[in-house]
Amino acid sequence: MGKITVAVGSTRRPKLSAVSEAMHAIGALLSPGARFEIAGFDVQSSVGHTPLTREELMRGAQQRSEALLPMVRGRRMDCCYFVGLEGGLEVIKADAGREHGERRVFLESWAYVSDGVRGHYGCSGSVELPSQLAHEVLDNGVELGVAIDRFAGAVGIRDAQGAWGVLSRNLISRQEAFRVAVIAAFAPFYNAQMYRAGARAV
């Protein structure tokens, strides 16, 4: 098999590396013997700088993926898959049955993968934000990338280990969270038989 190009709606190193690592893990399942090439593009998600709901995260990932199609076709590139990645927050009320549930805020990483015809979502796990960091983002409107730099007393965390790395003491990096999301989003492609079987069983 020849080369298969995977377009990614980002030029940030952790995201591109996450997709590269994911393709290394699942490439043989998608197309045995093929060589996968990752091509990053600067696209807009058309959602907030820090998505604050799961719905917004999913929409941002999908819109990044869909923005790639006309861009790639305009350059006459032959891409087989289009990957959109979005990181942000999911806010829930713990003890929702009570009148005043406690606010809990979780960091999540989402992926949307399309072959140009159909697309699927994948998600990482979640890690809870400290209340002060959540307050900065949700109540003061500070972008998460800026807030985590202040919180950790560092610079450029988003392009390194990310908030994931800071909160998990580098046991889970931003790159790793996106890698898991990408592998999950690709599942209907590399495990198509299972998904077809599931559709027939419904």
Structure tokens at 65: 């993926």
Identify the residue whose tokens are 């038989």. Answer: 193
Quickly count: other Cβ atoms within 10 Å of residue 191's Cβ: 14
Give 171's DSSP letter: S
Structure tokens at 135: 């307050």
- Phi and psi based region of residue 70 (left: phi greater than 0; alpha: psi -120 to 50; beta: remaining): alpha
Domains of the chain, earliest start first: 3-130+174-201 (3.90.950.10)
Per-residue pLDDT of the chain (202 residues; tens, 9 = 90+): 588 999 999 999 999 999 999 999 999 999 999 999 999 999 988 888 899 999 999 999 999 999 999 888 777 777 899 999 999 999 998 765 555 668 999 999 999 999 999 999 999 999 999 999 999 999 999 999 999 999 888 888 877 888 999 999 999 999 999 999 999 999 999 999 998 875 555 4
